[in-house]
Amino acid sequence: MSFEKFKLNEKILAGVQAQGYKDPTPIQLQSIPPIMEGRDVMGLAQTGTGKTAAFVLPILQRLMQGSRGYVRALIIAPTRELSEQTHNSIVQLGRRTNLRSVSIYGGVNINGQISKLKKDVEIISACPGRLLDHINRGTVDLSRIEVLVLDEADHMFDMGFLPDIRKIVKHLPAKRQTLLFSATMPEDIRSLANDLLINPVNIKIGHTAPVETVSHKFYPVQMNSKTDLLKDILNKTEMDSVLVFTRTKSRAKSVALQLDKSGYKVTSLHGNLTQQKRQRALDGFRDGRYEIMVATDIAARGIDVTRISHVINYDMPSTADAYTHRIGRTGRATKTGDAFTFVTGEDIGLANALKKVLGEKLEYQNIDGLTMSMPVDDRTPLRRNTSGRSAKPSKGRNHFSPKARMNSRPKQRSFDSSNRSQWAH
Ligand code: AMP
């Protein structure tokens, strides 16, 4: 089914076309009609499924009807990056609509935001803390909001934002449409949804990205061999752009530094960076100046880089859900990707739990001198592997070594079927 069936205004369809979207994704198919009818929606979907357009398109449609010049839609997101990305999607999809959108988040000077808010803005994408700041200063008027979106609600809960959200909601009209999106549904989110949503349509999009379109490889390894293993994989595997996850900010920084010393085009993203540096790192990763980004979970939430070919878990995530979120960065929308996870002795419990979820999709890898032999259960210690099967480099010319990259052509970053074999449409 194409987007025409939704009967969106042709100016909005022009935005969809300009973005290169041909067919709606499952979450768009299921959410757009009820949202356009004005229903509340509770969407269980992770990032990478096309959920932003699923709520942005009906919001644009609604706002094109009715009067202009005051704030009518509010989208609340947990991180600055997500709030900026949503704002960008609104700008792109709504390029012909003349609707005005602004993003509001902390870490940057408030005065620029205050002057933007004075310019007849109709849509706000905001992080909770800075939005409350504007409410308290009286620099934003939310009294005529028609649609409220809570995006990545579970992350907002993880980051302790739920009390702020409840405070913000008190400044909105009771009569409004509310949409809540979350990748998981912990009890606190369920109770928030019960309080805020009225007779919602429930939509559930399975964890399709990790299970269906991503291949998963686990490397049993000792902590002190991780960086060597990482370099070995980067050298041997054909990769496009790679997101590496570490557990701590300091490790993100030190791994990036070590890769940089070895000649890789690498940047890092973690909470200790100023907003300007975070944006520079993200822009550089998006436009291909950096081929590797080393990030912590919080910093990487919601990152939308169209072609992340590989996610490497340098450190294992702490829960199966966190694994799903990380892996959601690759295999986005209709593409495929690879996920490599380094498993130390401490991680065996979670590795076994993930093994049950991933089943046949999961492969254990051995690389002589770098990996350990995988124990059958979590009571068996890991042993260094010296005679196992050695991982062969994948076929193709552009292996991810600094030298090979010097000879390779600049890479194109878009939805495009000419991408190499890592990607399937
Ligand atoms: P999201 O889940 O909103 O972060 O979207 C993930 C990625 O999918 C973004 O790069 C979107 O631009 C892209 N996308 C969204 N909808 C579609 C679509 N219908 N067809 C192709 N790509 C899409």
Higher pLDDT, 320 or 151: 151
**What is the value of pTM for the model shown?**
0.62
The residues pairing with 311 across neighbouring beta strands, listed in sequence order, are 243, 339
- List the residue whose alpha carbon is closest to atom 18 of ligand 1: 21
Task: Write the CB contacts of 387 (distance below 8 Å, at least 6 apart in sequence).
Answer: 368
Q: Please enumerate, as own/partner, the contacts of 164-170 that have beta carbons within 8 Å and a separation of 24 or more.
A: 164/128, 164/129, 164/132, 165/76, 165/128, 165/192, 166/192, 167/132, 167/135, 168/76, 168/128, 168/131, 168/132, 168/135, 168/142, 169/196
Q: Using the mean position of ligand 1's atoms as its centre, give its distance from the Cα of residue 133 in Å.
A: 31
Determine which residue's CA is closest to atom 15 belonging to ligand 1: 50
Strand-pair partners of 362: 216
The span from the first CA to the last CA of the chain, in angstroms, equals 17
Compute, in angstroms, the gap from residue 289 CA to the centroid of ligand 1: 22
**Which residues lie with the beta carbon below 6 Å from any ligand 1 atom?**
21, 24-25, 28, 47-53, 304, 306, 332-333
Distance CA 204, CA 222 (A): 38
Vertex 157 angle, CA 148 and 353, to 5°: 125
- Is 253's pLDDT higher than 70? yes
- Range name among 24-33, 239-248, 271-280, 374-383 with the lowest pLDDT average: 374-383
Asked if residue 417 has pLDDT above 50, the reply is: no
How many Å apart are CA 7 and CA 13, to the nearest integer? 9
Domains and CATH numbers, the chain: 3-205 (3.40.50.300), 214-423 (3.40.50.300)
Q: Whose CA is nearest to atom 10 of ligand 1?
A: 306
Take atom 4 of ligand 1 and give the residue whose Cα is closest: 48
Query: What integer pLDDT is reported at residue 334 of this predicted model?
Result: 47
Task: Out of 332, 417, 423, give the residue to mutate to test ligand 1, the one with the largest number of ligand atoms within 8 Å of its CB.
Answer: 332
Q: Ligand 1 center to residue 126 CA distance, Å? A: 20
Residue 378 confidence (pLDDT) above 60:
no
pLDDT tens, 267-278? 998 878 887 888
In a 10 Å sphere around its CB, with 0-12 CB exposed, 13-18 middle and 19+ buried, how is residue 247 labelled? middle
Task: Report which ligand 1 atom has the smallest distance to the Cα of 89.
Answer: 12
- Tell whether the model's pLDDT for residue 416 goes beyond 50: no
Q: d(Cα 39, Cα 152) in Å, to the nearest integer?
A: 19
d(CA 357, CA 340): 16
How far apart are alpha carbons 85 and 160 in whole angstroms? 21
**What atom in ligand 1 is closest to the CA of residue 19?**
12
| Mean pLDDT calculated for residue range 67-76 | 96
For ligand 1, the distance from its centroid to the CA atom of residue 175, given in whole angstroms, is: 30
Q: What is the DSSP string of 346-412?
A: GGHHHHHHHHHHHGGGEEE---TTTBEEPPSSTTSPPEE-SSSPPPPPPSSS-BS-HHHHHHSPPPP
Going from the C-alpha of 246 to that of each of 41, 236, 317, 318, 341, the distances in angstroms are: 34, 21, 8, 11, 11
**Residue tagged 């356009």 (tokens):** 36
Q: Say whether pLDDT at 239 is over 70.
A: yes
Ligand 1 atom 19: residue of nearest CA: 24
Nearest CA to ligand 1 atom 6: 48
